[in-house]
């Protein structure tokens, strides 16, 4: 939860951590604990996901060697205008995936 440290005190961060990581669900009569990602069904999940994505997008675009001209996201959809050659999106995706792993480790 290091991304939220600057905005919230420790008590609120503990609550965020609890509601975002504590979820159980039943499938075919078997109970499971969700161990990765934001808790399914939590009312805080969209808020936490948007906080994460805002931080992620800012860093991804800032650090990219080849940047899109335009980047617009609405919930889970992204519209991008790519001004570079067709072989460069793969490099951009590799950079984004590497950054995702790095940022994701900060939330655990």
Residue ranges, the chain, pLDDT below 70: 1-5, 103-108
The domain limits of the chain are 2-106
Taking the CB of residue 65, how many other CB atoms lie within 10 A of it? Answer: 9
Element (H, E) at 44: none
pTM, full prediction: 0.60
pLDDT at res. 83: 93
Q: How far apart are CA 69 and CA 7, in angstroms?
A: 30
Reduced to 3 states (helix: H, G, I; strand: E, B; else coil), residue 108 is: coil
pLDDT at res. 104: 66
């Amino acid at each position: 939860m290091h991304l939220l440290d600057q905005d919230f005190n420790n008590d609120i961060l503990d609550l965020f951590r609890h509601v975002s990581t504590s979820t159980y669900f039943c499938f075919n009569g078997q109970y499971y604990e969700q161990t990765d990602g934001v808790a399914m069904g939590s009312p805080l999940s969209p808020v936490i996901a948007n906080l994460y994505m805002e931080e992620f997008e800012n860093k991804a675009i800032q650090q990219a060697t080849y940047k899109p001209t335009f980047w617009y996201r609405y919930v889970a959809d992204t519209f991008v205008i790519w001004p570079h050659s067709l072989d460069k999106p793969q490099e951009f995706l590799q950079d984004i995936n590497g950054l995702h792993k790095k940022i994701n480790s900060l939330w655990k």
